[in-house]
Amino acid sequence: MNNSITNVRNYNAAFIKVITMEKGSVVKIDYEMWVEGSEKLFDTTKEDAARNAGIHNPQIPYAPLTTIIGDGRLIKGFDSHLLAAEIGKDYEVAISAKDAYGAHDPSKVQTIPLIQFKKQNVKPHVDMQVNLGQTQGRISRITDSRAFVDCNHPLAGKSLRYRYTVVGEAKDPCKKAGWIMKANYPREVEFESEIDGKSVTIKVPEPCKYDVQMWPLAKYRAVGDLRNFGGFENVFFVEEYIMPQQPEKEVVAEGKKED
Amino acid sequence: MNNSITNVRNYNAAFIKVITMEKGSVVKIDYEMWVEGSEKLFDTTKEDAARNAGIHNPQIPYAPLTTIIGDGRLIKGFDSHLLAAEIGKDYEVAISAKDAYGAHDPSKVQTIPLIQFKKQNVKPHVDMQVNLGQTQGRISRITDSRAFVDCNHPLAGKSLRYRYTVVGEAKDPCKKAGWIMKANYPREVEFESEIDGKSVTIKVPEPCKYDVQMWPLAKYRAVGDLRNFGGFENVFFVEEYIMPQQPEKEVVAEGKKED
DSSP, collapsed to helix, strand or coil, labels residue A77 as helix
Give the type of residue at B102.
G
CA dihedral B11, B17, B23, B24 (to 10 degrees): -130
The shortest C-alpha distance from B200 to chain A (Å) reads: 10
Across chain A, mean pLDDT equals 89
Closest CA to B224 of B71, B64, B27, B79: B71
For A107-143, the pLDDT digits (tens) are: 999 999 999 999 989 999 999 999 888 889 999 999 9
The shortest C-alpha distance from B23 to chain A (Å) reads: 22
Residue A32 has pLDDT above 90, yes or no: yes
pLDDT at A6: 38
pLDDT at A58: 93
pLDDT at A253: 54
* Neighboring chain A residues of B223 at a CB cutoff of 8 Å: 241
> CA angle B17-B23-B156, nearest 5°?
115
Check CB contact under 8 Å for B241 and A236.
yes
Q: Which of A76-90, A110-124, A238-252 has the least mean pLDDT?
A: A238-252
Q: Give the residue-averaged pLDDT of A192-199.
A: 96
pLDDT at B220: 94
Q: Using the Cα atoms of residue A85, residue A87, residue A90 and residue A95 in order, give the sign of their dihedral.
A: positive
Tell me the count of A-B CB pairs closer than 8 A: 47
Contact A239, A204 (CB under 8 A): yes
Nearest Cβ partner of A223 from B212, B238, B241? B241
The enclosing H or E element of A95 equals strand A90-95
Chain A residues with at least one Cβ partner in B under 8 Å: 198, 210, 212, 216, 219-220, 223, 227, 233-243
ipTM over 0.90: no
Nearest chain B residue (CA) to A238: B238
The CATH label, of 3.40.50.720, 3.20.20.140, 3.40.50.300, 3.30.70.2210, for the domain at B171-247 is 3.30.70.2210
- The pair phi, psi for residue B98, each rounded to 5°, is -55, -40
In chain B, what is the greatest distance between 2 CA atoms, to the nearest angstrom? 94
Distance separating alpha carbons of residues B148 and B93, to the nearest angstrom: 33
Number of H helices, E strands in chain A: 7, 12
Burial of A138 (0-12, 13-18, 19+ CB in 10 A): middle
Interface test with B, best of A199, A225, A241, A245 (most B CBs within 10 A): A241
Low-confidence ranges of chain B (pLDDT < 50): 1-16, 256, 258-259
pLDDT at B230: 95
Distance separating alpha carbons of residues A170 and A190, to the nearest angstrom: 14
pLDDT at A132: 85
Topology adopted by domain A1-103+154-169: Chitinase A; domain 3 (3.10.50)
Contact A179, A53 (CB under 8 A): no
The CATH label, of 3.40.50.2300, 3.90.105.10, 3.30.70.260, 3.10.50.40, for the domain at B19-102+155-169 is 3.10.50.40
Check CB contact under 8 Å for A237 and B242.
no
CATH tag, A106-150 = 2.40.10.330
Check CB contact under 8 Å for A234 and B227.
no
DSSP, collapsed to helix, strand or coil, labels residue B91 as strand
pLDDT at B112: 92
Split at pLDDT 50, 70, 90, the class of A172 is very high
- The pair phi, psi for residue A128, each rounded to 5°, is -65, 135
Residue A106 has pLDDT above 90, yes or no: yes
Q: Do domains A1-103+154-169 and A106-150 have the same CATH topology?
A: no
The shortest C-alpha distance from A192 to chain B (Å) reads: 15
pLDDT at B18: 57
pLDDT above 70 coverage of chain A, percent: 88
Residue A252 has pLDDT above 80, yes or no: no
Closest CA to A30 of A65, A1, A57, A56: A65
pLDDT at B248: 67
* Neighboring chain B residues of A220 at a CB cutoff of 8 Å: 210
Distance separating alpha carbons of residues B239 and B205, to the nearest angstrom: 8
pLDDT at B252: 57
Pairing mode, strands A26-35 and A146-150? unpaired
Nearest chain B residue (CA) to A246: B233
The shortest C-alpha distance from B112 to chain A (Å) reads: 28
Topology adopted by domain A170-242: Alpha-Beta Plaits (3.30.70)
Nearest Cβ partner of A234 from B219, B233, B241? B241
For A174-183, the pLDDT digits (tens) are: 999 999 999 9
Interface test with B, best of A206, A219, A226, A239 (most B CBs within 10 A): A239
Instruction: Spell out the domain ranges in chain A.
Output: 1-103+154-169, 106-150, 170-242
Interface test with A, best of B239, B240, B246 (most A CBs within 10 A): B239
Split at pLDDT 50, 70, 90, the class of A8 is very low
